[in-house]
Structure 1
Amino acid sequence: MVLAGVLTGCGNGERLERFDGPTMGSHYSIQYVRHSATPGPKAVQAEVENVLAEVDRQFSTYRSDSDIERFNALPADSCLVMPGPVLELIGVGEQLSAQSDGSFDLTVEPLLNLWGFGPQSREEKVPTAEALAQVRQRVGQGHLRIDGDRLCKDAAVEVDFNSIAAGYAVDRIAARLQALGIDSYLAEATGELKAAGRKPDGSAWRIALEEPRDDRQVAERVIEVNGYAVSTSGDYRRYFEQDGARYSHTFDARTGAPVLHNLASVTVIHPSALMADGLSTLLLILGPERGWDYAQKHGIGVFFVLRDGNRFVTRTNDMFERISSGKTQ
């Protein structure tokens, strides 16, 4: 996802501020319209980074002291008190898992590690059938249970929130910006983003969607966003090839293996960055037919990019066209 925006001032006393920094092993960036009643960028940046630090403490799988990694380290038949946001996202994961017949699953981290894509990976390779069968015993959303303020598991499952945590962080940032009196902004974290209002010159926030290439960045399409979040999931950033087959980091929990269809990327527009993040992953897992039918049934605005030999073919639905053209804003 490429963010398009030119920093310009305006004669009405408004100006466009920008700051950015590292987060979640990647990057975040904020643009917002500042006027006399809103704070300066240093104060806003401190608020945003407080939100990001809290999200990291709760959801990171790359630090052993995070809330979810302390849970992941527990054996089967264990429970641990969790903060409300963790339990909230477990609920979202259960919803997406149920709606995908188990294809979407928050407990695929052992599979990611086995295939070489996870935080504890050693080598990217196709595992043996025996190793895959053993690891699949520790995968399954159904092994999780919420008991009051505790998260419990009846198998040694490990939860990975990477498919929804960044979207949740963007929603939190957007809410914080609005609480500071900022109603025109573009907030992005690790590629997930949400935009509201307009720039000082009255123009819309414009977002460039990347063509799913791993060799260079090429804009596939530019859209306008106001009041919506945008999330793109694709198979073109992390993958390996073995014996003529291409294996990406997008997993179908029902098979325990990466998806092998020709849907290269999915972009979702949704009022919630959390849901856009999760739905883009879900639809990519479901593939070009099941994913399209799901989006149409649930009224989700989508932009699909499919591989057709050496070229890409795009497909969008009416909801995506209406939102990205500003007709529903």
Structure 2
Amino acid sequence: MRSAVLQPVIAVALAAALTGCLHSERIEEFGGPTMGSTYSIKYVRSEGVAPQAELKAATEAILAEIDLQMSTYRDDSLIEQFNRAPAGTCQAMPKGVLDLVRAGDRLHQESQGYFDLTLEPLLDLWGFGPKGQGEAVPDAERLAEVRQRVGQQHLKIDGEQLCKDADVQVDFNSIAAGYAVDLIVERLGELGVTSYLVEATGELKAAGFKPDGSHWRIGLEAPRDDQRVAQRILQLDGYGISTSGDYRNYFEENGQRYSHTLDPLSGKPVNHKLAAVTVADPSTLRADGLSTLLMVLGPDAGMAFAERNGIAAFFVTREGEGFVTQGTTAFEQLFAAGDEQ
């Protein structure tokens, strides 16, 4: 009886609040190029939020700094200077670079080596890296030679320096975009933004409510080459989302498909039926790294790893001419109430 009395009062209060919001709040957006792709920011303009020009300048300053520190596509970046240095080198690095190495170390240890930040020579060898000479299957001798220059265990942090005891090269592409999203979200919060959808090269994070009172929603794209189709729609509040897949970056030779996702332990592209995997985590950086790791592990080992570690992940596996989808327990619990099929 009491709830029946309170219910219309609450509904009226919410309606009044929303009516006020519609006049004072609105969604604004901006974006641009970054990391060989694009970024986009949507946010709710409300009292206390800095002007858009300031938000954009702050965002692009973060992206420019990450590019200068971590890009493997520019010779003057700090990480490329480190990559060119010989074995036995130590180089002073900013906090961001060291934070990413530590994040990579954690994933490397958790997965017994299936996640590795030193794959750049292998990516180049197969034609997927910044110095690749064209996509082709290398001979066994060349593959064995390049594998000697791979291994995250050869990296060490010594104070504010990054050191290497072998001729390894670091590639942050598996976690840098997620890291960028987290930094942007933090900075926008300092500038008054509380409701946002931040995306960089496909990695994204959202929190808060839109002016109509609804959550931000995103669609998980079906792994198809011919068209973009939303396979599942999720509403987000405080989670980062990362999807890894092999359906856009691959080559075929003698009827065999070779994915850009490499197995660090074999030095070869993965060979399984997992087409794509999406991970949700409060840290977009960690979601970014985990989606890569699960893509390497494949549908069975990846699902087992995700369940064992309580990871919210959604797997899309090839089955004949179509696809089969499966979410982990944590994923289904996280999105059961608010998502749409």
Q: TM-score, normalised by structure 2?
A: 0.91
- Where does residue 165 of structure 1 map in the other structure? 176
Secondary structure of 1:11 counterpart: helix
- Residues 212, 234 of structure 1: 8 Å contact kept: yes
- Where does residue 302 of structure 1 map in the other structure? 313
How many Å separate the matches in 1 of 2:103 and 2:47?
A: 39
Q: Residue by residue, what CA displacement relative to the aligned partner does 1:228-277 show, whole Å, maximum 9, x if unpaired? A: 00000001111001111111110111000010100110000100000000
- Residues 208, 222 of structure 1: 8 Å contact kept: yes
Secondary structure of 1:31 counterpart: strand
Are 1:231 and 2:242 an aligned pair?
yes
Are 1:99 and 2:110 an aligned pair?
yes
Secondary structure of 2:242 counterpart: strand
- Residues 307, 329 of structure 2: 8 Å contact kept: no
Name the structure where helix makes up a greater proportion of residues. 2
- Where does residue 61 of structure 1 map in the other structure? 72
How many Å separate the matches in 2 of 1:26 and 1:34?
A: 26
How many Å separate the matches in 2 of 1:185 and 1:257?
A: 39
- Where does residue 26 of structure 1 map in the other structure? 37
Deviation at 1:10, TM superposition (A): 5.0
- Where does residue 138 of structure 1 map in the other structure? 149
**Of residues 262, 265, 273 in structure 1, which corresponds to 2:273?**
262
Deviation at 1:326, TM superposition (A): 5.1
How many Å separate the matches in 1 of 2:289 and 2:253?
A: 28
- Where does residue 311 of structure 1 map in the other structure? 322
How many Å separate the matches in 2 of 1:324 and 1:233?
A: 19
Q: TM-score, normalised by structure 1?
A: 0.95
Task: Read off the aligned partner of 1:268 and give its amino acid letter.
Answer: V
- Where does residue 5 of structure 1 map in the other structure? none
Unaligned stretches of 5+ residues in structure 1: 1-8
- Where does residue 80 of structure 1 map in the other structure? 91
How many Å separate the matches in 1 of 2:51 and 2:28?
A: 8
Q: Residue by residue, what CA displacement relative to the aligned partner does 1:186-233 show, whole Å, maximum 9, x if unpaired? A: 000000000000111111111011111122211111111011000000
- Residues 224, 326 of structure 1: 8 Å contact kept: no
Deviation at 1:152, TM superposition (A): 0.9
- Where does residue 15 of structure 1 map in the other structure? 26
**Correspondence 1:286-297 to 2 at 5 A:** 286-297=297-308
Which range is displaced more, 162-171 or 148-157?
148-157
How many Å separate the matches in 1 of 2:293 and 2:102?
A: 15
Q: Residue by residue, what CA displacement relative to the aligned partner does 1:39-67 show, whole Å, maximum 9, x if unpaired? A: 22222111111111111111100111111
- Residues 100, 286 of structure 1: 8 Å contact kept: no
- Where does residue 111 of structure 1 map in the other structure? 122
Task: Read off the aligned partner of 1:167 and give its amino acid letter.
Answer: G
Task: Read off the aligned partner of 2:241 and give its amino acid letter.
Answer: V
How many Å separate the matches in 2 of 1:102 and 1:109?
A: 15
Instruction: Name the CA shift for 1:172/1:60 in 2 (closer, same or farther; >3 Å).
Output: same
- Residues 92, 160 of structure 2: 8 Å contact kept: yes
How many Å separate the matches in 2 of 1:148 and 1:35?
A: 42
Task: Read off the aligned partner of 1:259 and give its amino acid letter.
Answer: V
Secondary structure of 1:89 counterpart: helix
Secondary structure of 2:65 counterpart: helix
Task: Read off the aligned partner of 1:267 and give its amino acid letter.
Answer: T
**Of residues 147, 151, 155 in structure 1, which corresponds to 2:162?**
151
Secondary structure of 1:266 counterpart: strand
Paired positions, count:
319
Q: Residue by residue, what CA displacement relative to the aligned partner does 1:66-92 show, whole Å, maximum 9, x if unpaired? A: 110110010111111111111111111
- Residues 223, 325 of structure 1: 8 Å contact kept: no
